[in-house]
Amino acid sequence: MHFGEHLMIDGYGGDNRKLNDKDIVLSFLNQLVADLGMRSLSDAQVFYAPGNNIKDPGGWSGFVVIQESHISIHTFPARRFVSADVYTCQNNLDVKMITDFIRDTFLLVDIESNFVVRGKQYPKKNIA
């Protein structure tokens, strides 16, 4: 048994308009929580993050706290790039569904994903 799973997705060549739409980013967070059967502990929050004139041209950052952990997303419309994390204490995360959902939502051309099993030595019972 392990504690949970962490899926990290980087998407390339996305639709600039969709990546720059606060409502689409908010909808992505809310729909993904629902589609995964998870429970929100807070309303999803989305904020505009201005560029820093170094490598970050600005975009939208969103986050939702779920009973199972959290989901976050950061869009970079000028680079047609998106980065998202789904971290959960559940097992058997539906990686294909999540990957297809982000691809379809932002019309991504290419995706890199990393999947990490977390807490491989998670205790089976309370120890305190």
Residues with a known catalytic role = 69, 74, 89
Backbone torsions φ then ψ of 57, nearest 5 degrees: -85, 5
Are 62 and 47 within 8 A, CB to CB? yes
Q: Where are the beta strands (DSSP E) in 1-128?
A: 4-12, 45-50, 58-66, 69-76, 81-88, 110-118
SS3 40: strand
What is the CB neighbour count within 10 angstroms for residue 43?
10
